[in-house]
Structure 1
């Protein structure tokens, strides 16, 4: 069973395992879509993911339990009132202890390499706040708080903004430096009018500990 981090009548936050894609891959294999009925937990409808996490990314994923909740949560993300906290392991050491990366992003694709996101002046604006937490074995644990929610935002901002790609990132870094792209959705706060906010925290997974980061 996928761990539940938060549950009420309109929201579920699950602790998504790393390497589990949200949708069924073209090449086949397991996905969250195959297991969504497990997450009904007595409700008649399947819950619906409100936002996206990359296949490799672990941690907090919000699901809506009815269409009205989905609409409300979508608006919260669009209005940028959702607080998202990620923890990532980047290659190397950093000179600064904290900062803000503002790099607009655009999608490019080629037949040989597939698609990827790149910094581009004419791209969509993207902002990420970051701070250094710890370092070990030539790697650094970094907290990322994205203001925007662009595709691959943290991955590109780490590689091009910090100059230190996420360990294990096969697209923007070096696949050989870690068992996966080392990014974890550690915290989520979703405000709700007239109700207490949805608040979820996900502990660091074991593969972070294997690289020397057992605690934040």
Structure 2
């Protein structure tokens, strides 16, 4: 049996691609030698096709790069002729570039139009990371505050707030409809947190709350934030970092913020900080409480690296930048040495996650009441605290935050009903509705009610444990206690 040649495979592939569009040669006439279109191909828009922009059509059928589309249009390698164009116009546009009509990306392709484009180009299929599979009610279990106007959730690390080019399906925007609680519209974000940052994220339940909050934030009169950052080195006990940013530059595949004078276009940025804990291990590690007054791009990370000369653990970008700020030996801190790096890696492990956490958010509600919402420390930071011997202090801090919480999940009727509905939908064959004890089991397992028990090791609140249990389809054998 003869084997098919590689050329035959490429031809079949090309025919398969060309079958998605309608190729024609409008210069051909019956009984005459066909006119060669050269390096171009021509597509005729079907009669029943809906109007489409030229740049979007090119993105779908010709090339998958934005810059390539614009270059093709600007260099007149892509052009459009109407259905009433004559034979001479078709032939002239193929042979002489100056006879090709000018087009723009917003040019609308109408039925029976002819589109000329380079026939050697094909779009590259986009490689998208698979979206994470969240069980129903996953975001409900991360709710840490709720009233008639605002919501607050504990944002997990690795999740983006809004969809984007490099986000895929790991964004919270698509999960907001589960937080309606009887409202007509889904809540909206009042502010944003970077993908690498976890912690308190505030949402407005209606448009008036969002508009009011954003206006007050612009006036610096709505909230007070507290971020926890584990940094390399030792910093002063307290102080301020007033360093204008941003001079955005490309570093690897990301933008970074560098100090820049206001006279040269830098934006003013102010961050207050205080020293909470210090450990002399691994060249010195400090836990800072930071309150950024302005929300510049990477403000906290840049102020730690350039202002305090203490980059955040798990931040290789600004760590390397701060290491090369000066060539003098006096500037080189101990944490930049090879020994300190190896000691940190032995003590904390290979830290690939940023140790920056939005710990607290203090705001005034519409009722005039001042509340403080606290998010538990993420698991990777809790493990680092345990390695530094701070587990007892962290346990007391988490217990104090739970006792002073302004809102308790088990006392909210709407949340209990939503969790009960989720449990009913996930186990429809059970034959019985979820009672109050079952709902309290979910809440208490997420550390929303009980304080951690005294033990030698830190029991980190694992918010993903319920997610793993639901994915396996199992249920915990332990029952929560009634109070």
TM over 0.5: yes
Q: Which one of the candidate residues 265, 272, 291 is aligned to 1:129?
A: 272
Hey, what does 1:23 align to over in structure 2? 162
Are 1:161 and 2:307 an aligned pair?
Answer: yes
- Contact 2:250–2:256 (8 Å) recurs in 1: no
Task: State the Cα distance separating 1:169 from its structure 2 match.
Answer: 1.4
2:274–2:289 Cα contact (<8 Å) kept: yes
1:4 is matched with 143
Gaps of 5+ in 2: 1-137, 321-344, 398-483
1-structure distance, mates of 2:303, 2:150? 30
- Shift in Å, 1:192: 4.0
Deviations 1:71-129 (A, max 9, x none): 111012111121000101112x2142111100011142349644221111121111111
Post-superposition CA distance 1:26-68 (Å, at most 9, x none): 1313111121112223322111111111111111111011110
Higher RCO (C-alpha under 8 Å, 6+ residues apart): 1
Q: Cα RMSD between the aligned structures?
A: 2.0
Residue 52 in structure 1 maps to residue 198 in structure 2: no
Distance apart, 1:193 and its partner CA: 5.5
The structure-2 alpha-carbon separation of the partners of 1:69 and 1:23, relative to structure 1 and needing over 3 Å to count, comes to same
Q: Which has the larger radius of gyration?
A: 2
Secondary structure of residue in 2 paired with 1:71? helix
The aligned length equals 214
1:149 correspondence with 2:149? no
Worse overlay, 12-21 or 28-37: 28-37
Do residues 89 (structure 1) and 230 (structure 2) align? yes
Structure 1 unmatched runs, 5+: none
* C-alpha distance 143-95 of structure 1, shift in aligned 2 (>3 A): closer
8 Å Cα contact 1:11-1:198 kept in structure 2: no
Deviates further, 189-198 or 113-122: 189-198
Counterpart contact for 2:234–2:286, Cα < 8 Å: yes
1:140 is aligned to 2:286: yes
Matching residue of 2:336: none
Q: Secondary structure at the match of 2:359?
A: strand
Given candidates 210, 217, 233, the residue that maps to 1:77 is 217
Which residue, out of 363, 373, 385, partners 1:190? 363
1:188 Cα offset (Å): 0.6
For residues 71 and 95 of structure 1, the distance between their equivalents in structure 2, rounded to whole angstroms, comes to 38
Give, in whole Å, the separation in 1 of the partners of 2:315 and 2:251. Answer: 20
Whole-angstrom CA distance in 2 between matches of 1:210 and 1:194? 39
Q: Going by fraction, where is strand more abundant, 1 or 2?
A: 1
Distance in 1, matches of 2:367 and 2:251, equals 50
TM-score (norm 1): 0.90
